A and B are shown apart, each in its own frame.
Chain A
């Protein structure tokens, strides 16, 4: 009997005490600076109030593009040799490979037939303008340095290049394969001089039978990396 009262008394005491604990903050009587339940390890004494340093890294300038202009001579098979010039834009994909788009212009002269016959023209004056574009893949071989005098060294590389494109000449757009090699001489990290030799191959039937014409072009150019 006695123990039953004791249990009852204990239950009443627990409820009232827990009620106090639950309600004391309601009326503002409680301890206002009660620490919030902490998930930190018990060993942590100092709470470092230091924010992580926010570092904004400047962006790195990428210079994978190379734009340039070139001028030289182009020998159009059967039609003599004349000045050629154009523009090129290359994107360097890796240290070895680059892709290049080139557009150029040259002008055909007269075939020996036209000269000897005295006035008979195989193609009209407008058709003597030769325009070409091509899209190529190049690969840098033999990268190295050129030493000029004792104290100067310049980077250079040889490259081989092959591409496809179209040549507008003698009244037709002609499917063209371009093969070539070039030499890149870097004046500094952003400017380069180029010496290029390319063969433009296309089919032509102006002289009678259809044949594949080799049109050799040698140019000097300046390019800028950006």
Chain B
């Protein structure tokens, strides 16, 4: 076991480059020194029920199989990355095993290892979803990031943040949406959205003389959620916005965007 070490950064260093390099070194050192301490943790153990369990050097199908563990032996599950599990055999060999093989092992209570692969049922039932969409907002580019929480398979609440980059103005926009899916179990699931929020517009000083302003917005939209594979889905939507300006007339803006999302 390694002893705890102290990493000192000379206080005389002024330059950011050197400071950054030191920080990186300190991070790396700390990781290396603290890693063995976690070995004492309590891990979940499973018994191999198939003839053997293949261990790979890395968490992916492209990494080579370097060891097999025989039927009847136990392995400890150290951690999980995506759908791969780092396991340690009784003899101390550590390697990565994919979820499909882990499902054939037995837990201490004799039941099968009960972690499923994500599938289309999760597309319908998963609670959380996050994604990135981009497109056109009244002639300007828009980049949007959102996070959603499903109240039930049909209704979810979403929080959106967008940056709009145009020729005459840039803007930030935030909104809260309520999304209703009539057929959440369909692979291509249409939805209807209703939202409200605020937009902060910054006109470009070189072209238009104008001050920054913040206005309230409301919008209605329709879209499609399309299940792709594993945890992924594609999403496309059209929204019609009303910007409640302080001027005489409200502005109306049309927006479309496409992107991808994943649920968890």
**A residues bordering B, Cβ < 8 Å?**
53, 55, 57-64, 69, 71, 83, 85, 92-97, 99, 135, 137, 140, 142-145, 153, 155, 157, 164-166, 171-175, 186-191, 222, 224-225
Within 8 Å by CB of A95, from B16, B60, B205, lies B60
Is B63 close to A, CB under 8 A?
A: yes
**Majority SS at the chain A contact face:** strand
CA distance A142 to B57 in the complex (A): 14
Which of B24-32, B150-158, B214-222 binds A?
Answer: B24-32
- With A99-B132, A190-B35, A191-B32 as contacts: A93 and B262 at CB distance below 8 Å: yes
Q: Which of B50-68 contact A (CB under 8 A)?
A: 57-64
Structural contact, A57 and B44, CB atoms closer than 8 A: yes
Structural contact, A95 and B84, CB atoms closer than 8 A: yes
Is B17 close to A, CB under 8 A?
A: yes
Interface size class of B (residues with CB under 8 A): 35 or more
Chain B residues in 8 Å Cβ range of A62: 79-81
Structural contact, B165 and A97, CB atoms closer than 8 A: no
CA distance A135 to B260 in the complex (A): 12
Chain B residues in 8 Å Cβ range of A155: 57-58, 63
Structural contact, A140 and B60, CB atoms closer than 8 A: yes
Structural contact, B27 and A57, CB atoms closer than 8 A: no
B 7-38 binary contact with A (CB < 8 Å = 1; else 0): 00000000011001101100110011001000
- With A58-B42, A166-B165, A190-B31 as contacts: A173 and B81 at CB distance below 8 Å: no
Structural contact, B24 and A222, CB atoms closer than 8 A: yes
Structural contact, A69 and B17, CB atoms closer than 8 A: no
Most buried by B among A57, A58, A99, A172: A57
The 4 nearest A-B residue pairs measured at CB: A143-B62, A175-B165, A155-B58, A95-B60
Structural contact, B83 and A95, CB atoms closer than 8 A: yes
CA distance A135 to B230 in the complex (A): 21
B74 to chain A, nearest CB (A): 13
Is B86 close to A, CB under 8 A?
A: yes
**B residues bordering A, Cβ < 8 Å?**
16-17, 20-21, 23-24, 27-28, 31-32, 35, 41-44, 57-64, 77-86, 107-109, 132, 134, 141, 143, 145, 163, 165, 170, 204-206, 230-232, 260, 262
Structural contact, B107 and A55, CB atoms closer than 8 A: yes
CA distance A145 to B58 in the complex (A): 9
Structural contact, A92 and B82, CB atoms closer than 8 A: yes
Residue of chain B at shortest CB distance from A221: B24
Chain A residues in 8 Å Cβ range of B80: 60-63
Chain A residues in 8 Å Cβ range of B77: 60
B94 to chain A, nearest CB (A): 8
Within 8 Å by CB of A57, from B41, B62, B78, B107, lies B107
B247 to chain A, nearest CB (A): 24
Chain B residues in 8 Å Cβ range of A190: 31, 35
Chain A residues in 8 Å Cβ range of B35: 188, 190
CA distance A53 to B260 in the complex (A): 44
B88 to chain A, nearest CB (A): 11
Chain A residues in 8 Å Cβ range of B41: 58
Further pairs besides A71-B20, A93-B232, A137-B132: 19, Cβ < 8 Å = A55-B109, A60-B79, A61-B79, A94-B83, A94-B232, A95-B59, A96-B60, A99-B132, A135-B143, A137-B260, A145-B57, A155-B57, A157-B60, A166-B163, A171-B205, A175-B141, A186-B58, A188-B32, A224-B27
